[in-house]
Amino acid sequence: MQNSSSPVSVPVLSPEVADALAAGRPVVALESTLLAHGLPRPENRKAADEVEDAVRRGGAVPATIAVLDGVPHVGLTAAEVDRVCADPELAKLGVRDLPVAAALGRSGATTVSSTALLAARAGIGVFATGGLGGVHRHASDTFDESADLTALARTSLVVVCAGVKSILDVPATLERLESLSVTVVGYRTLRFPGFYVADSGSSIDWAVETPAEAARVFAARRELAPGAVVVANPLPVDQQLDAELHDRVIADALAAADAAGARGKDVTPFILGHLHEASQGASLEVNVRLVLRNAELAGQIAAELAALPR
């Protein structure tokens, strides 16, 4: 389907999102890659509603983002969410892929980088996700680094996440975020979370204690320079994946990936599949749990941000 009338720079807003933004009410952006590629069907459709409900509990309007027939949509109808969750052929769209999808009328789920870009274009200041992409292990040889990092360096919004998956090189990821001048704060912690586990083993310099503090940090950043504020929100220890199981399975999965010759973008799904199987599905339960927590906190931060003078 050819689409030449809706450039990628002009996303279509759902009526609810458009009304909220026009009235200055809080809105939280949500990615769609989690739904299309991160969770199994049909559980992904249930999770889509749960994540949006968590944003509402936090006091904000949810805006799930996807590209449908070449047109970026910020805020999806129930039928559009059904489409994203049901289509096994839906593309995965980073920033580099958006112009191709727009020009050729293709559909796809948005990653962290493209969701951040489209959210900022729509005037949304807060984004909730599971975990960021980062620097992959052996990146000094492969140059394998997520586009999320550079996207956050030039996009002004709050990103609430559970850190990065510990299959990545977490210290190198934090170094890159520092080099790119992305502000990173822990939510009530000075330990950077490792997605499935509360502590990745790396420390960070700053913490905020309340959603209001996070909102004020972003307001100050927005006045100073473009770029994101990453709010790293760890799971409580009693809700994380068993740490011993996590460490053992990750080590086994990395060795298996190396033995299988998995390289580049194939490494992450290989390891996550190994983790899911070895944990008997517990890793997916943790994934949904942390996304819900991040969505609710993002709603609270968005509500505090909307209350600040502009």
Catalytic residue among 52, 165, 296, 304: 165
Cβ partners under 8 Å of residue 211, min gap 6: 297, 300, 301, 303, 304
**Series of mean pLDDT values for 10-residue runs along the chain (310 residues):** 51 96 98 91 94 98 97 97 95 95 96 96 96 71 73 96 86 94 98 93 96 98 96 95 83 76 65 75 88 98 94
Binding residue numbers = 92, 112, 144, 146-148
Single pTM value for the model: 0.92
- 46 catalytic? Reply is no
Kindly report the backbone phi and psi dihedral angles of residue 165, in degrees, each rounded to the nearest multiple of 5, phi listed first: -65, 140
Helix (H/G/I), strand (E/B), else coil: 132:
strand
Residue 7's pLDDT is what?
54
Kindly state the tokens that stand for 271: 């390891």
Residue 304's pLDDT is what?
98
Residue 5's pLDDT is what?
47
Binding residue numbers for Mn(2+) = 144
CA distance 3 to 203: 47
- 165 catalytic? Reply is yes
Residue 40's pLDDT is what?
86
Residue 272's pLDDT is what?
72
Binding residue numbers for substrate = 92, 112, 146-148
DSSP 3-state percent helix, strand, coil across the chain (nearest 5): 50, 20, 30
> Domains of the chain, with CATH numbers?
12-305 (3.40.1790.10)
Catalytic residue among 31, 145, 296, 304: 31
